[in-house]
Amino acid sequence: MTFRTRFTELIGIEYPIVQGGMMWVGRAELAAAVSNAGGLGILTALTQPSPDALRQEIERCRSMTRKPFGVNLTILPSVNPPPYAQYRQAIIDSGVRIVETAGHNPKEHIAHFKEHGITVIHKCTAVRHALSAERLGVDVISIDGFECAGHPGEDDIPGLVLIPATADKVRIPIIASGGFGDGRGLVAALSLGADGINMGTRFCATVEAPIHARVKQLLVDSDERSTNLILRSLRNTGRVGKNSVSDQVVEILKRPNATFEDVAHLVRGAQGRVLLETGDLDAGLVWAGQVQGLIHDVPSVAELIGRIVREASDIIRARLPAVLPRETL
Residues at the site binding ligand FMN, with contacts judged by CB under 6 A: 20-23, 25, 44, 72, 74, 102, 123, 144, 147-150, 177-180, 198-202, 204, 287-289, 291
Residue nearest to ligand FMN (CB): 200
| Minimum separation from the CB atom of position 55 to ligand FMN (A) | 19
**Do residues 273 and 146 make contact, with C-beta atoms less than 8 angstroms apart?**
no
State the minimum distance, in angstroms, from the CB of residue 44 to ligand FMN: 5
The residue among 26 and 38 lying less far from ligand FMN, judged by its C-beta, is 26
Distance separating alpha carbons of residues 278 and 215, to the nearest angstrom: 9
Q: How many CB atoms neighbour CB 220 within 10 A?
A: 12
Please, which residue, 70 or 289, has the CB nearer to ligand FMN? 289
Measured from the CB atom, is 36 or 72 closer to ligand FMN? 72
Q: Is the dihedral of CA 180, 186, 192, 195 positive or negative?
A: positive
Asked if 100 and 70 touch (Cβ cutoff 8 Å), the reply is: yes
CA distance 92 to 235: 33
Nearer to ligand FMN, 5 or 290 (CB): 290
Q: How far apart are CA 279 and CA 290, in angstroms?
A: 20
Q: Which is nearer to ligand FMN, 210 or 258 (CB)?
A: 210
For the bound state, the minimum distance from the C-beta of residue 103 to ligand FMN, rounded and expressed in Å, comes to: 7
Residue 178 Cβ vs ligand FMN, minimum distance, rounded to whole Å: 4
* Angle at the Cα of 22 from the Cα atoms of 262 and 307, rounded to 5 degrees: 135
Q: Which one, 3 or 180, has the nearer CB to ligand FMN?
A: 180
- Cβ distance to ligand FMN smaller for residue 13 or 197: 197
Which amino acid would we find at residue 45? A
Give least dist CB 61 to ligand FMN, A: 17
Cβ of residue 99: shortest distance to ligand FMN, in angstroms? 11
State how far the Cα of 220 lies from the Cα of 201, in Å rounded to an integer: 11
In the chain, the largest separation of any two C-alpha atoms, in whole Å, equals: 66
Rounded CA-CA distance 70/21 in Å is 9
Minimum distance, C-beta of residue 188 to ligand FMN, in the bound complex (Å) = 13
Burial of 264: CB neighbours in 10 Å, binned 0-12, 13-18, 19+: exposed
Nearest to 202 by CA among 76, 300, 60: 300
The span from the CA of 2 to the CA of 93, in Å, is: 32
